């Protein structure tokens, strides 16, 4: 079957051969590197929706995620609150219109809420592995211990001198961080993380559905 | 590293913030003289000791807040958010 045409690309250059997933050109994960103990995944295809609204209003009631936390209160959606009165929703590729519609329907007339599809405006990567905190502590000043930033912690801070949204979102009991920065810094950010992780045998990985 | 205690995010490296400056009362634009405006815009006390100043958490919560800081030791005491109208600005 002919390969479908890609309509979008990540700012992170492809490593190895490529495939098309949900309209995105993604790097193919090589068979030899599957099961790596420390991996950095280019998650650019995931839907990202920015929500701004009052801390006590219909949107806050719907998202149920206070400042500084991340949760999965909406089905299949990771909601993060890295700034007061602001949330970012992460979901499977191509789901932004449905997500925006779902939130819009819950907002009563007169409540001021901003919804913006920022899928293509932010670079998103996931760092998974027990040595993840060792990589990040080389690049940022946050206390990454379980006591201070357990799974479900969400914050905005400086990582590799960039403003980054950092979310601890463990997968199957393994330490994992979801990180996003402005799209244009994506290539640099991915490279900085790979450099910091070299001593821990970090491996870059391509995006695989569902990815969230 | 100088730690600045953001009232929202907790202590963070000073490089995450923008130093806004000493807190100065804004004169009434309808009645202030030119001298008063110049003093408001350009003149600072720059004390050797305790001062009250504004900081903006650029790489964090994106909010303005005030702290009392000893300019000799960088010790910080009282911290408070700016009034709501002034706290939402840059992204
Ligand atoms: Zn802050």
Summarised one tens digit per residue, pLDDT across range A191-207 is: 999 999 999 999 999 99
Question: pTM of the predicted model, to two decimals?
Answer: 0.89
Superfamily of segment(s) B3-22+39-81 = Folate-binding superfamily (3.30.2270.10)
How far away, in angstroms, is B69 Cα from ligand 1 center? 17
Q: What is the ipTM of this complex?
A: 0.84
- Best of B61, B82, B87, B88 to disrupt the A interface (most A CBs within 10 Å) is B61
Asked if the Cβ–Cβ distance from A157 to B60 is below 8 Å, we say: yes
Summarised one tens digit per residue, pLDDT across range B7-65 is: 999 999 999 999 999 998 899 999 999 999 999 999 999 999 999 999 999 999 999 99
Q: What is the pLDDT of residue A30?
A: 66
pLDDT at A12 over 60: yes
By the 10 Å C-beta count (0-12 exposed, 13-18 middle, 19+ buried), A188 is classed as middle
Domain spans of chain B? 3-22+39-81
- How far does the CA of residue B79 sit from the closest CA of chain A (Å)? 17
How far away, in angstroms, is B37 Cα from ligand 1 center? 31
* A155 Cβ under 8 Å from any chain B Cβ: yes
Contacts of A183 (CB under 8 A, 6+ apart): A11, A120, A121, A122, A123
In chain A, what are the helix, strand and coil shares in percent, each to the nearest 5? Answer: 20, 35, 45
As given in the structure block, the two tokens for residue A132 are 């993840």
pLDDT band at A88 (very low <50, low <70, confident <90, very high): very high
* Omega prior to A210 cis, within 30 of 0: yes
pLDDT band at A119 (very low <50, low <70, confident <90, very high): very high
Summarised one tens digit per residue, pLDDT across range A143-202 is: 999 999 999 999 999 999 999 999 999 999 999 999 999 999 999 999 999 999 999 999
> Which has the minimum average pLDDT: A34-38, A65-69, A124-128?
A34-38
Torsion sign over Cα A184, A188, A189, A194: positive
> Which residue segments constitute the domains of chain A, with CATH numbers given?
18-44+122-205 (3.30.1360.120), 47-117 (3.30.70.1400)
When pLDDT is averaged across residues A87-102 and rounded to a whole number, the result is 96
pLDDT band at A28 (very low <50, low <70, confident <90, very high): confident
Q: What is the pLDDT of residue A1?
A: 60
* B62 Cβ under 8 Å from any chain A Cβ: yes
Q: What is the pLDDT of residue A212?
A: 84
pLDDT at A33 over 70: no
SS3 assignment for A132-167: HHHHHCCCCCCCCCCCCCCCCEEEEEEECCEEEEEE
């Amino acid at each position: 079957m002919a390969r479908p045409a890609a309509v979008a690309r990540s700012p992170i250059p492809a490593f190895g051969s490529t495939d098309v997933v949900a309209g995105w050109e993604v790097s193919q994960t090589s068979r030899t590197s599957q099961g790596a103990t420390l991996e950095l995944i280019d998650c650019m295809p995931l839907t990202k929706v920015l929500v701004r609204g009052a801390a006590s209003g219909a949107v806050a009631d719907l998202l149920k995620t206070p400042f500084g936390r991340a949760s999965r209160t909406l089905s299949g959606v990771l909601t993060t609150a890295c700034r007061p009165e602001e949330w970012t929703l992460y979901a499977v590729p191509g789901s932004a219109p449905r997500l925006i519609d779902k939130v819009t329907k819950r907002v009563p007339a007169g409540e001021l809420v901003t919804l913006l599809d920022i899928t293509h405006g932010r670079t998103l990567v996931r760092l998974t592995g027990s040595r993840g905190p060792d990589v990040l502590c080389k690049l940022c000043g946050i206390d990454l211990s379980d006591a201070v930033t357990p799974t479900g912690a969400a914050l905005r801070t400086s990582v590799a001198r960039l403003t980054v949204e950092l979310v601890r979102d463990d997968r199957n009991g393994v330490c994992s961080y979801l990180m996003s920065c402005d799209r244009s810094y994506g290539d640099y950010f991915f490279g900085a993380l790979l450099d910091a992780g070299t001593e821990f045998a970090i491996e870059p990985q391509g995006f695989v559905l569902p990815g969230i | 590293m100088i730690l600045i205690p953001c009232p929202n995010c907790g202590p963070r490296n000073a490089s995450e913030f923008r130093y806004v400056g000493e807190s100065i009362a804004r004169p009434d634009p309808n009645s202030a003289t030119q001298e008063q405006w110049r003093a408001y815009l350009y003149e600072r006390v720059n004390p050797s000791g305790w001062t009250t100043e504004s900081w903006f958490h650029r790489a964090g919560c994106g909010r303005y807040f005030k702290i009392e800081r000893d300019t000799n030791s960088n010790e910080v005491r009282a911290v408070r958010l700016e009034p709501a109208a002034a706290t939402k600005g840059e992204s």
